[in-house]
Amino acid sequence: MRCPLISKTTLLKIGLIILIIVIGIWMFLIGKMHTVLLDNKTIEVEGISYVQLPIVEVQIDNKEKIELAARDRDLVEVTAQRHKITVYYTDKLFNEHKIVKKFKIPLGYDMVLISIPALIGETDVSDWLSEYIPPTAVVAPQAETETVDELGIDFSF
Protein backbone atom coordinates (compact mmCIF):
# COMPACT_ATOMS: atom_id res chain seq x y z
CA MET A 1 0.00 0.00 0.00
CA ARG A 2 1.69 3.16 -1.12
CA CYS A 3 0.64 6.36 0.49
CA PRO A 4 2.99 9.08 -0.60
CA LEU A 5 1.59 11.77 1.65
CA ILE A 6 1.12 9.95 4.93
CA SER A 7 3.22 6.97 5.94
CA LYS A 8 1.66 3.72 7.01
CA THR A 9 2.79 4.12 10.60
CA THR A 10 1.34 7.61 10.93
CA LEU A 11 -1.94 6.32 9.54
CA LEU A 12 -1.86 3.53 12.06
CA LYS A 13 -1.15 5.97 14.90
CA ILE A 14 -4.01 8.25 13.86
CA GLY A 15 -6.30 5.24 13.59
CA LEU A 16 -5.30 4.12 17.07
CA ILE A 17 -5.98 7.53 18.56
CA ILE A 18 -9.40 7.67 16.91
CA LEU A 19 -10.14 4.19 18.21
CA ILE A 20 -9.21 5.20 21.75
CA ILE A 21 -11.35 8.32 21.58
CA VAL A 22 -14.27 6.23 20.35
CA ILE A 23 -13.76 3.74 23.19
CA GLY A 24 -13.61 6.65 25.59
CA ILE A 25 -16.91 8.02 24.39
CA TRP A 26 -18.41 4.55 24.49
CA MET A 27 -17.27 4.13 28.11
CA PHE A 28 -18.76 7.48 28.95
CA LEU A 29 -22.10 6.45 27.55
CA ILE A 30 -22.36 3.02 29.09
CA GLY A 31 -20.89 4.08 32.39
CA LYS A 32 -22.73 7.27 33.15
CA MET A 33 -24.67 6.98 36.32
CA HIS A 34 -28.09 8.58 36.61
CA THR A 35 -30.32 8.86 39.63
CA VAL A 36 -33.98 8.19 39.08
CA LEU A 37 -36.45 9.55 41.57
CA LEU A 38 -39.77 7.79 41.71
CA ASP A 39 -42.55 10.05 42.80
CA ASN A 40 -45.96 8.98 43.98
CA LYS A 41 -47.47 12.42 44.44
CA THR A 42 -50.46 14.09 42.92
CA ILE A 43 -49.24 16.06 39.97
CA GLU A 44 -50.88 18.54 37.62
CA VAL A 45 -50.19 18.29 33.93
CA GLU A 46 -51.82 20.81 31.59
CA GLY A 47 -54.63 21.41 33.99
CA ILE A 48 -55.42 17.76 34.62
CA SER A 49 -54.66 16.43 37.99
CA TYR A 50 -53.22 12.95 38.30
CA VAL A 51 -53.90 11.59 41.73
CA GLN A 52 -51.38 9.70 43.75
CA LEU A 53 -52.13 6.09 44.48
CA PRO A 54 -52.43 4.69 47.97
CA ILE A 55 -49.95 2.04 47.11
CA VAL A 56 -47.99 1.15 44.01
CA GLU A 57 -45.08 -1.14 43.16
CA VAL A 58 -42.41 0.05 40.78
CA GLN A 59 -39.56 -1.82 39.18
CA ILE A 60 -36.73 -0.29 37.15
CA ASP A 61 -35.19 -2.75 34.68
CA ASN A 62 -34.85 -5.99 36.61
CA LYS A 63 -33.95 -4.56 39.93
CA GLU A 64 -35.75 -5.01 43.21
CA LYS A 65 -39.41 -3.97 43.29
CA ILE A 66 -39.99 -0.78 45.24
CA GLU A 67 -43.17 -0.06 47.11
CA LEU A 68 -44.43 3.49 47.24
CA ALA A 69 -47.22 4.66 49.49
CA ALA A 70 -49.06 7.88 48.86
CA ARG A 71 -46.77 10.91 48.70
CA ASP A 72 -43.75 8.65 48.82
CA ARG A 73 -40.58 9.21 46.89
CA ASP A 74 -37.78 6.76 46.36
CA LEU A 75 -34.47 6.73 44.57
CA VAL A 76 -32.82 4.29 42.19
CA GLU A 77 -29.36 4.57 40.68
CA VAL A 78 -28.96 3.34 37.13
CA THR A 79 -26.19 3.20 34.61
CA ALA A 80 -26.48 4.24 30.96
CA GLN A 81 -29.43 5.80 29.23
CA ARG A 82 -32.02 3.27 28.13
CA HIS A 83 -34.20 1.67 30.76
CA LYS A 84 -37.55 0.13 31.29
CA ILE A 85 -39.97 0.83 34.08
CA THR A 86 -42.69 -1.56 35.25
CA VAL A 87 -45.53 -0.33 37.41
CA TYR A 88 -47.88 -2.64 39.30
CA TYR A 89 -51.01 -1.16 40.83
CA THR A 90 -54.55 -1.97 41.79
CA ASP A 91 -57.28 0.43 40.81
CA LYS A 92 -60.46 1.35 42.67
CA LEU A 93 -62.29 -1.58 41.13
CA PHE A 94 -59.64 -3.93 42.53
CA ASN A 95 -58.29 -4.75 39.06
CA GLU A 96 -54.61 -5.37 38.91
CA HIS A 97 -52.67 -3.45 36.29
CA LYS A 98 -49.19 -3.76 35.00
CA ILE A 99 -47.68 -1.05 32.85
CA VAL A 100 -44.32 -1.43 31.15
CA LYS A 101 -42.70 1.55 29.53
CA LYS A 102 -39.30 2.10 28.00
CA PHE A 103 -37.59 5.42 28.55
CA LYS A 104 -34.35 7.11 27.71
CA ILE A 105 -32.55 9.45 30.05
CA PRO A 106 -30.96 12.34 28.21
CA LEU A 107 -27.21 12.22 28.68
CA GLY A 108 -26.97 15.62 30.27
CA TYR A 109 -29.47 14.87 33.02
CA ASP A 110 -27.82 13.78 36.22
CA MET A 111 -31.02 13.15 38.12
CA VAL A 112 -34.48 12.60 36.73
CA LEU A 113 -37.88 12.50 38.30
CA ILE A 114 -40.57 10.06 37.20
CA SER A 115 -44.06 10.87 38.31
CA ILE A 116 -45.89 7.55 38.69
CA PRO A 117 -49.41 9.01 38.67
CA ALA A 118 -48.63 10.87 35.44
CA LEU A 119 -47.19 7.74 33.90
CA ILE A 120 -50.25 5.72 34.78
CA GLY A 121 -52.44 8.51 33.44
CA GLU A 122 -51.01 7.85 29.97
CA THR A 123 -49.45 11.27 29.58
CA ASP A 124 -46.61 12.04 27.24
CA VAL A 125 -43.14 10.92 28.22
CA SER A 126 -42.07 14.50 28.47
CA ASP A 127 -44.72 14.96 31.16
CA TRP A 128 -43.91 12.09 33.44
CA LEU A 129 -40.13 12.20 33.01
CA SER A 130 -38.36 15.40 33.89
CA GLU A 131 -34.98 16.61 34.94
CA TYR A 132 -34.46 17.02 38.61
CA ILE A 133 -32.05 19.55 40.00
CA PRO A 134 -31.57 19.13 43.71
CA PRO A 135 -31.76 22.32 45.74
CA THR A 136 -28.24 23.04 46.97
CA ALA A 137 -29.15 22.44 50.55
CA VAL A 138 -29.99 18.86 49.76
CA VAL A 139 -26.46 18.08 48.67
CA ALA A 140 -25.13 17.43 52.12
CA PRO A 141 -21.40 17.93 52.32
CA GLN A 142 -19.68 14.63 52.96
CA ALA A 143 -18.02 14.31 56.27
CA GLU A 144 -14.29 14.64 55.80
CA THR A 145 -13.45 11.06 56.59
CA GLU A 146 -9.81 10.82 57.51
CA THR A 147 -8.51 7.84 55.62
CA VAL A 148 -5.65 6.11 57.35
CA ASP A 149 -2.53 7.52 55.80
CA GLU A 150 -0.34 4.54 55.16
CA LEU A 151 2.87 5.95 56.54
CA GLY A 152 1.50 8.59 58.86
CA ILE A 153 3.78 11.25 57.48
CA ASP A 154 2.18 14.64 57.25
CA PHE A 155 3.22 15.62 53.80
CA SER A 156 3.84 19.30 53.90
CA PHE A 157 6.60 20.05 51.46
Partner 1 sequence: MNKVKEFIKSFGWPRIIISLFLLSLFIIAPFVGVSISTSLSDTIVRFGMNGVMVLAMVPMIQSGCGLNFGLPLGIIAGLLGGTMAIEFNFLGQSSFLMAIVFATPFALLLGYGYGKLLNKVKGSEMMIATYVGFSSVAFMCIMWLLLPYSHPTMVWGYAGKGLRTTISVEGFYLHTLSNFLKINIGDSFLFPTGMILFFILLSLLMWAFFHTKRGTAMTAVGSNAVFAKASGIDVDKTRTLSVMMSTWLGAVGILVYQQSFGFIQLYMGPFYMALPAVSAILIGGAAVNKASIVNVIVGTFLFQGILTMTPSVMNSMIHTDMSEVIRIVVSNGMILYALTRKSEATQ
Partner 2 sequence: MSSLRETKFQRILNTLEKNSVPLLFGVIVIFGIPLSGYSLNYLGQEIVVRIARNSFLIIALLVPIMAGMGLNFGMTLGAMAGQIGLIFIADWKIIGIPGMVLAMIISTPLSILLGWLCGKILNMAKGREMVTSYIIGFFINGVYQLIVLYGMGSVIPIKNSSLVLPRGYGIRNTVNLIKIRKVFDNLIVIKLFGISFPIATFLLIAALCLFIIWFRKTKLGQDMRAVGQDMEVARAAGIKVEHTRILSVIISTVLAGYGMIVYLQNIGTLNTYNSHMQIGMFSIAALLVGGATVNKANIGNVFLGVTLFHLMFIVSPTAGKNLIGEAQLGEYFRVFVSYGVITLALVLYEIRKRRDADRSGRLLAQNQMDQREILE
Q: Which residues sit at the interface with partner 1, rule CB under 8 A?
A: 153-154, 156-157
Contacts with 77 (C-beta within 8 Å, 6 or more apart), sequence order: 33, 34, 35, 36
- Kindly state the number of chain residues that form the binding site for partner 2, as judged by CB under 8 A: 28
Q: Is 62 in the site for partner 2 (CB under 8 A)?
A: no
Give the distance from CA 41 to its chain's centroid: 19
- Quick one: which H or E segment has residue 25? helix 8-31
Closest approach, Cβ 72 to partner 2, in A, equals: 25
Distance (Å, whole) CA 117 – CA 113:
12
Closest approach, Cβ 150 to partner 1, in A, equals: 14
Q: Show the site string, 16-45: x = touches partner 2 by CB under 8 A, - = not.
A: ----x--xx-xxx-xxxxx-----------
Q: Is 151 in the site for partner 2 (CB under 8 A)?
A: yes
SS3 label, residue 99: strand
Inter-CA distances, 146 with 25, 136, 143, 149, Å: 34, 25, 9, 8
Closest approach, Cβ 151 to partner 2, in A, equals: 6
Closest approach, Cβ 100 to partner 2, in A, equals: 25
Using the minimum distance from each CB to partner 1, give the nearer residue, 108 or 152.
152
Of 122, 143, 114, 124, give the one whose Cα is nearest residue 34.
Answer: 114
Closest approach, Cβ 139 to partner 2, in A, equals: 6
Give the distance from CA 132 to its chain's centroid: 10
Among positions 105-124, residues that touch partner 2 (CB under 8 A) are 110
Using the minimum distance from each CB to partner 2, give the nearer residue, 6 or 27.
27
**With CB cut-offs between 5 and 8 Å by kind, which of partner 2, partner 1, none does residue 156 bind?**
partner 1
